Structure 1
């Protein structure tokens, strides 16, 4: 988190080019210590010593594992203050107690035991933590967790479809209230198992069953009569539902939403299930969904790679932006399609790879995005690592702070621009400027001196 009072110190702590003596001086300030804690890679011994001298238990939490040299790991193991010595293990144990997912490697480091032993630990919360994060556990370990006497452990072991539930365990799990909803979402169901789940009358169970990708046509037909908006919308994604039935179900839920039903609103707008089966259907069957009125089907269709040219033309011009974005990710997307889409709407930076990283994207056009009216599109220009200084100067005075932040992080930034952004009124801009590896040591020392370090 950026410090509002000392943003340049927090950014400088993250700066990968900060010399060792700069880091040592930063360690005397709480904000500097926080910035250093966000750095990647191993810390120099002198920096660790400075952090121990000036820091506290909170500082020590970030000092563990490969961040430390073997000598510093021994130093921690022998530290006289248990609050410092055990800072990281205590933090991990707190996360376990709170039920916050934490990596299996972190659990092994904190508890000092291999994952195979932790899976049988006497503390149920720890066994549950292992079940949540040991994704590639072998079948023997999974069976042990499925048989665990604690319900929270069994629930954690069945949250995901992998490593799954062996066939001989399915009846037992489907009868277990702790895991029934989880398991009903993904295991192949027999007719008897399906019938028992439906007879349960449990809303959560019904919703889980509706998501199950292995349902037969007969099972789907029985779900049509369940008066639950989420079940209805989920069932519309089934390959066993014809267009007329799909329209009817959507109409029912739309009517409920019009009457003010929150459940209907959630079902229509916050149901992220997709008809994934469509990707594996024969091409002639997939093509029947090109005109489907429901965008989720067209979006899945657009994620295929073997459609005829006419289909791509229509998907590239679909009324839904998400469909057009999905179509643009195909390997042979034309350069003009990619450029038109990004120029009109920008890119989606939390989904990788970016559209501008597509092999067919005309990257030479990126610098022309600087003059686009939308700030989200102007930001895309910063994906050009050689963006001219004149363009960076233009974006550095933009009214949008996120654009100025992008300039502050840019590899082609000049010393003058960095100095300008170090004094930006937005703390996050100043923070990013101080974290840029292009910042000269002389500027780093000036920041330290100004802070009295």
Structure 2
């Protein structure tokens, strides 16, 4: 974690080349402890002991599981200070009470009990957390959650798509206000259950029903003139509407957005539904959407992998960047298609693998991105692990902090450039430079001396 006042010390705490004695000295400073607590891998016992000495229970929260040796875990479990002994367990319990999502393994470690025992815990907060995090729980456990007396537990059990609701329990769940919206979004509905859900007048339930992929043509027809724009956008994505009806529905919502409707804007821009059914449609049917005026249909079409060449040529030139990115993820995308797409629109870092890592991408072209006027494209040059020092210096001189952060973490970085980046006024850059393993030991000692450590 970057310490805004002393980012070089927090970065040094995360440096994989930092010797044990350096880490022990860092533990005496809040910024050093900030970096050490989030450092990858197991901490040496001397470092963990120093964190306990200087950071007390706050540092003890991070000293659990594989982060420390078995001997250190025993040391913490027997610590004379109860705040230290119970730090991690108290932290987990506090997160439970606040409703913060916790990893299931954390819950098991703190309680020292089996998943099945935790699922039957008398505390509803524990049961709700288990229901929300134990993804592969057996069906009998899921059934027990669906019948739990606490509505928070029942709601947690249906929040995710899996393990789902067994067919024999669907009617009861659709009548349960705690879970009916989540269930109505995912299970096949009968005409009677469809009518009962609409009769609730609950907007969340209405939105869930409209997004249900199992709606029949009659159900969709009954929703298409609804006043709620979220419903109309969802209906427009249904397989049961004609192109003319789809165009009309979306045009009305777009007109409402243009007139200043926040509800219409949210319906169109905030996680709008996608026609996922199109992925499984016959090829001939899918190809009829190649000229669809609504990008979301072309985006789904482009995720297919069995389209003819003529379709790929059209999708590779689509005006919507997401369509082009989806198409470029096919295994046989050409180097030219990938290079042109990245030069025009950059890459999307939160979708993995990135297009720059596509097997057909011409890696030799990465160095040519250094001079690109668009920083979103320029940053891709850093994907070359052997980028020459001269080009790293060029990127280190850029005004965009995220480019300098990327340079500070580059494997080909030299000690001289690391020194320059340590002085960067942007905390994230200085932190990344101090965390680089090329940082000389002598420079580490100077950083500690400057901090009085």
Q: Tell me the TM-score range normalised by the shorter chain.
A: over 0.9
> Which position in structure 1 is the counterpart of 2:368?
368
2:236/2:246 contact within 8 Å kept: yes
CA contact (8 A) 1:395 1:404 kept: yes
C-alpha deviations, 1:115-161, integer Å up to 9, x for none? 21111111111111111111111101100100100001000101112
Partner of 2:311: 311
Query: Where in structure 1 are there 5+ consecutive unaligned residues?
Result: none
C-alpha distance in 2, partners of 1:113/1:261? Answer: 52
**CA deviation map 1:54-102 (0-9, x unaligned):** 1122111111111111100100110111111111111110111011111
- Structure 1 residue 260: deviation in Å? 2.0
For normalisation by structure 1, the TM-score amounts to 0.98
Partner of 1:78: 78
* Residue of structure 2 equivalent to 1:5: 5
Question: How far is 1:6 from its partner?
Answer: 1.1
Alignment of 1:127-276 (within 5 A): 127-276=127-276
SS at match of 1:447: helix
Q: 2:113 aligns to what?
A: 113
Q: Equivalents in 2 of 1:272, 1:127: separation in Å?
A: 32
Q: State the Cα distance separating 1:413 from its structure 2 match.
A: 0.5
Judge conservation of contact 2:17–2:437 (CA < 8 Å) in 1: yes
Shift of 1:4: 2.5
Deviation at 1:203, TM superposition (A): 1.8
Distance, in Å, in 1 between the alignment partners of 2:427 and 2:254 is: 45
Distance in 2 (alpha carbons) for counterparts of 1:225 and 1:399: 51
Find the aligned partners of 2:114 and 2:61 in 1 and give their Cα distance. Answer: 21
SS at match of 1:290: coil
- Counterpart position of 2:35: 35
| Aligned partners of 2:43 and 2:68 also within 8 Å | yes
C-alpha contact (below 8 Å) 1:184/1:212 kept by paired residues = yes
Q: Provide the C-alpha distance between the structure 2 equivalents of 1:371 and 1:225, rounded to a whole number of angstroms.
A: 53
Q: 1:227 Cα deviation (Å)?
A: 1.5
| Native 8 Å contact 2:333 2:360 kept in 1 | yes
Equivalent residues of 1:230, 1:271 under 8 A apart: no
Q: In 1, are the aligned partners of 2:233 and 2:273 still within 8 Å (CA)?
A: no
Aligned residues: 453
Shift, 1:262, TM fit: 1.1
Residue aligning to 2:47 = 47
Partner of 1:402: 402
CA contact (8 A) 1:103 1:133 kept: yes
Deviation of the 1:320 alpha carbon: 0.9
Deviation sequence 1:248-289 (CA, Å, 0-9, x none): 111221222233221111001113321111111000000010
For residues 242 and 82 of structure 1, the distance between their equivalents in structure 2, rounded to whole angstroms, comes to 67
Q: CA deviation at 1:199?
A: 2.3
The Cα of 1:200 is off from its aligned counterpart by 2.2
- 1:244 positional shift: 0.7
1:313, CA displacement in angstroms? 1.0
Whether the 8 Å contact between 2:2 and 2:34 is mirrored in structure 1 is: no
Partner of 1:122: 122
Alpha-carbon distance between aligned partners in 1 of 2:359 and 2:351, rounded to the nearest angstrom: 16
SS of alignment partner, residue 142 of structure 2: helix
Show the counterpart of 2:281.
Answer: 281
Instruction: Supply the distance in 1 between the matched residues of 2:170 and 2:261 (Cα, whole angstroms).
Output: 35
Deviations 1:21-74 (A, max 9, x none): 111110111110110011111111111111111112211111111111110010
Moved more, 287-296 or 249-258: 249-258
State whether residues 45 and 72 of structure 2, in contact with CA within 8 Å, keep that contact through their aligned partners in structure 1. yes
Tell me how far apart the structure 2 counterparts of residues 202 and 246 of structure 1 sit (CA, whole Å): 25
**Matched residue SS, 1:118:** helix
Q: What is the Cα deviation at residue 415 of structure 1? A: 0.9
- Contact 2:234 2:272 (8 Å CA) reproduced: no
> 1:2 offset after TM fit, Å?
1.9
Name the stretch that deviates more: 142-151 or 202-211: 202-211
> TM-score, normalising length from structure 2?
0.98
Moved more, 90-99 or 214-223: 214-223
In structure 1, distance between residues paired with 2:373 and 2:87: 50
Structure 1 residue 235 displacement after superposition: 1.0
Query: In the alignment, is the contact (CA less than 8 A) between 2:181 and 2:208 conserved in 1?
Result: yes
- Find the counterpart in structure 2 of residue 434 from structure 1: 434
Question: Paired residue for 1:378?
Answer: 378
Q: Is the 8 A contact 2:20 2:44 kept in 1?
A: yes
Q: Counterparts of 1:99 and 1:351 in 2: how far apart (Å)?
A: 28
